[in-house]
């Protein structure tokens, strides 16, 4: 009798593990969710929206179809500003035969934002042979690549800066964001940016993939170097600053996601403190 129950239990566990693995490989990775965040910042002069996406990791496990879905989801939101936080490719040299750069540039170009589209370098754009094509591709897609540069967007009352990648590039953490109003910084890796750029009111990052396998208790162990103590979501940095980390769209290394669906983040920036809920 005991042996019978033991067998049933083992079969049940095997089915659970197999089903979870199957979902992580094929189910979760094929989702795309819109995560909305309201971010109240005293330095904001007016309300506006930012569509933040990151870590598409196109190549072996992500193709033009997944980028097209992202572009369509962003288009539905009609954001004021679009920001891409890096890691467009996964391993470009390895996967270049699978990628049609003309097609990808055309999809990027379809994304519309009245106040502009901006991008930064990720470590997978700096490494793996992607540095030869990434900058030109983003510019063909209508994105301004911010490599230790800042631009003023007076109509939104902000200065927007972007850092080079912290792991494989040469980030200038002393980048000046001086100007009237809100100071926004885009940096692929959240850890160094949050620690080393205290002047930014709002930092937008990716890189972490939310651990990719967002298993309770072990997720933080799966975060890549450069993540700091940030996995995914909204992190207040004192009373007047905020860090927003997206877990991104694609996968790397392990072609699976769990408790961590691919996402686009729609940030609703509002002036002042967030009212208690
Ligand atoms: Fe990434």
pLDDT digits (tens, 9 = 90+) for 139-188: 999 999 999 999 999 999 999 999 999 999 999 999 999 888 999 999 99
The per-residue pLDDT for 277 is 45
Sheet holding 81-84, edge to edge: 33-41, 263-271, 48-53, 81-84, 117-119, 144-145
CA of 89 to the centre of ligand 1 (A): 9
Q: Taking residues 188-210, what's their average pLDDT?
A: 96
The per-residue pLDDT for 165 is 98
Tokens of residue 273, six digits: 């403190």
CA of 150 to the centre of ligand 1 (A): 23
CA of 252 to the centre of ligand 1 (A): 7
Is the per-residue pLDDT at 274 higher than 70?
Answer: no
CA of 14 to the centre of ligand 1 (A): 31
Rounded Cα distance, 268 and 66, in Å:
24
CA of 85 to the centre of ligand 1 (A): 9
Helix extents (H) in the chain: 2-22, 64-77, 92-95, 101-110, 123-126, 134-140, 190-196
* In the chain, where the domains are located: 31-271
Closest Cα partner for 205 from 126, 276, 119? 119
**Residue 204 — very low, low, confident or very high, per pLDDT cuts 50/70/90?**
very high
Closest Cα partner for 154 from 172, 125, 179, 178? 179
Rounded Cα distance, 247 and 262, in Å:
7
Enumerate helices (H) and strands (E) in the chain, giving the number of each: 7, 12
CA of 154 to the centre of ligand 1 (A): 31
pLDDT digits (tens, 9 = 90+) for 94-128: 999 999 999 999 999 999 999 999 999 999 999 99
CB 260 within 8 A of CB 252: no
**Residue 2 — very low, low, confident or very high, per pLDDT cuts 50/70/90?**
low
Mean pLDDT of the chain: 93
The per-residue pLDDT for 53 is 98
CA of 232 to the centre of ligand 1 (A): 13
Highest mean pLDDT among 16-20, 89-93, 234-238: 89-93
Is the per-residue pLDDT at 197 higher than 50?
Answer: yes
Fold of 31-271: Purple Acid Phosphatase; chain A, domain 2 (3.60.21)
Tokens of residue 270, six digits: 């509002």
Rounded Cα distance, 255 and 264, in Å:
19
102 three-state secondary structure = helix
Is the per-residue pLDDT at 275 higher than 60?
Answer: no
The per-residue pLDDT for 23 is 77
CA of 207 to the centre of ligand 1 (A): 4
CA of 69 to the centre of ligand 1 (A): 18
CB 154 within 8 A of CB 178: no
CA of 248 to the centre of ligand 1 (A): 7
CA of 79 to the centre of ligand 1 (A): 23
CA of 60 to the centre of ligand 1 (A): 14
Q: Taking residues 60-78, what's their average pLDDT?
A: 97
The per-residue pLDDT for 217 is 79
Rounded Cα distance, 14 and 240, in Å:
49
CA of 261 to the centre of ligand 1 (A): 14
CA of 176 to the centre of ligand 1 (A): 26
């Amino acid at each position: 009798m005991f042996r019978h129950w033991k067998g049933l239990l083992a079969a049940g566990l095997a089915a659970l593990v197999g089903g979870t693995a199957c979902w992580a490989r094929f189910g979760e990775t094929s989702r795309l969710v819109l995560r909305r965040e309201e971010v109240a910042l005293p330095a904001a002069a007016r309300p506006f929206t930012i569509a933040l996406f990151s870590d598409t990791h196109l190549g072996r496990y992500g193709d033009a179809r997944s980028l097209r879905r992202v572009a369509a989801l962003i288009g539905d939101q009609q954001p004021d500003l679009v920001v891409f936080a890096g890691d467009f490719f996964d391993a470009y040299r390895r996967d270049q035969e699978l990628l049609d750069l003309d097609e990808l540039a055309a999809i990027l170009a379809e994304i519309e934002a009245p106040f502009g589209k901006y991008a930064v370098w990720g470590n997978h754009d700096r490494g793996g042979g992607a540095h030869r094509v990434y900058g030109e591709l983003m510019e063909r897609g209508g994105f301004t690549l911010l490599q230790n540069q800042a631009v003023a967007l007076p109509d939104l009352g902000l200065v927007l800066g972007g850092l080079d990648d912290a792991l494989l590039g040469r980030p200038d953490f002393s980048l000046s964001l001086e100007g009237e109003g809100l100071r926004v910084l885009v940096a692929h890796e959240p850890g160094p940016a949050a620690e080393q750029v205290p002047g930014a009111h709002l930092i937008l990052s990716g890189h972490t993939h939310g651990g990719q396998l967002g298993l309770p208790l072990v997720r933080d162990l799966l975060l890549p170097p450069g993540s700091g103590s940030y996995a995914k979501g909204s992190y207040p940095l004192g009373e007047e600053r905020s860090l927003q980390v997206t877990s991104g769209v694609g996968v790397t290394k392990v072609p699976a996601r769990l408790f961590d669906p691919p996402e686009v983040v729609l940030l609703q920036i509002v002036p002042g403190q967030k009212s208690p809920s």
